[in-house]
Amino acid sequence: MSEISSQSKRPSSAGRRPTIRDVAADAGVSKTSVSRYFGVERERLSPELKARITASVERLGFSPDRIAASLRGGRTRLIAALVADLRNPYSVALIRAAELACADAGYSLLICNTDNDPAIERRQLDALSGYSVEGLIVNTASGDASALADMGRDGLPIVLVDRLIEGLDCDVVGLDDQQAVADAIGHLVEQGYDDLTLISEPTGAISPRVSRVAAFSAECEARGVTARVHQLDADDAPAFDAVIADRLRAADAGARPAVICANGVITLSVCRALSRAGGDVFDRLGLLGIDELDWCALVGPGISTLAQPVDAIGRQAVRILLGRISGQLAPTTGEKRLAGALVQRGSTMAG
């Protein structure tokens, strides 16, 4: 097996960049084992061998030259992730899970943030063609499938995460929105709430927003529960204040109202509106958010959530890509929907 050239974080003791031979000598293993560590046969190594090589790689500051390796073997071992907003906690958790899954398989993850801007997304996709990535994870707000479809026709495996884009035939991984909304509504009804409101960001062409609104309306109708839907921009504080004030008036009139937030961004906006309203708001109004965020346990009596399995979603997306890259998965596409988990806290326990 030919030697992989390297770019180092720091020079070796001999004043030169460390090579795969240096790593092998430092770890007390063969060059073949080190090559496997950075290749598709990584899982053939024992945990003890991988730990020794990892320690030597870190000690010597070695990193493989992916570009040189791709020129020799046509492989970059790069997977790219295109995300709409890298500041979003969902995106952070997704990227972390995908990066760990890539590392386990000897791949590196290239992260591209579009900042919810279609023009930036197009530029990022154009740039990715120069990196010869082997697979692409997509979680963006864009509904334009043309560039992605072209990449797919060129043979690039693509997995959409928490998105459906019309005209794009590829694998999809995400939350089972219908079941998640049904579980949320079922919990609230069991707690005695009979007047439910869903607040979502404007749905547009963003599939999870559309599916959650549709699932909410259908489930409430099936249960005979009063249902209201508001689509609000997350930074429109007066609109949130008006909705919360209306729901608190309904509580004072004898109803048992509760609000479901369609994602973590909306949960934060609602909590801010509740803070501005002041008083014993959680004694009068139930609140449940889709997305589990670190601060949800710290607000008021604790915010109940429907936690998305983001770690499992990120890892599943990588597994699918690796299966497509290796040819081990049949050349058909499909959806993989994962169940969420109800996290019950004081915000849905009003007496």
Contacts of 123 (CB under 8 A, 6+ apart): none
DSSP output for 109-132? EEEEE-TT-HHHHHHHHHHHTTTT
For residue 325, CA distances in Å to 228, 234, 244, 337 come to 45, 39, 49, 22
Q: Tell me, what's the pLDDT at 5?
A: 34
Tokens of 75: 């492989």
CATH of domain 20-71: 1.10.260
With respect to CATH, is domain 75-175+310-338 assigned 3.30.390.30?
Answer: no
Tokens of 236: 């429109």
φ/ψ region of 88 (left if φ > 0, alpha if ψ in -120 to 50, else beta) reads beta
Please tell me the distance from the alpha carbon of residue 302 to that of residue 296, in angstroms, as a whole number.
Answer: 6
Q: Tell me, what's the pLDDT at 112?
A: 92
Map tokens 């740039």 to a residue. 127
Residue 4 has, within 13 A of its CA and on its CB side, a CA count of 28
Domain(s) labelled CATH 3.40.50.2300 in the chain stretch across 75-175+310-338, 177-308+341-348
Q: Tell me, what's the pLDDT at 9?
A: 43
Query: SS3 of 146, please?
Result: helix
Map tokens 């690039």 to a residue. 156
Domain(s) labelled CATH 1.10.260 in the chain stretch across 20-71
Burial class (CB in 10 A: 0-12, 13-18, 19+), 208: buried
DSSP output for 201-268? S--TT-HHHHHHHHHHHHHHHHHT-EEEEEE--TT-HHHHHHHHHHHHHHHHTT--EEEEESSHHHHH
Q: Tell me, what's the pLDDT at 47?
A: 87
pLDDT in tens, 220-251: 999 999 999 999 999 999 999 999 999 999 99
Q: Tell me, what's the pLDDT at 351?
A: 54
Class of domain 177-308+341-348: alpha beta
Give mean pLDDT in consecutive 10-residue pieces for the chain, a chain of 351 residues.
36 62 88 75 81 89 61 70 89 94 92 89 82 89 77 88 85 95 96 96 89 96 95 96 96 96 95 93 95 93 96 95 85 83 91 54
Please tell me the distance from the alpha carbon of residue 80 to that of residue 16, in angstroms, as a whole number.
Answer: 31
- β-bridge partners, 261: 199, 289
φ/ψ region of 190 (left if φ > 0, alpha if ψ in -120 to 50, else beta) reads alpha
Tokens of 170: 């590829």
Please tell me the distance from the alpha carbon of residue 172 to that of residue 77, in angstroms, as a whole number.
Answer: 22
pLDDT in tens, 170-196: 899 999 999 999 999 999 999 999 999
Q: Do residues 198 and 262 lie in contact, with contact meaning Cβ atoms separated by under 8 Å?
A: yes
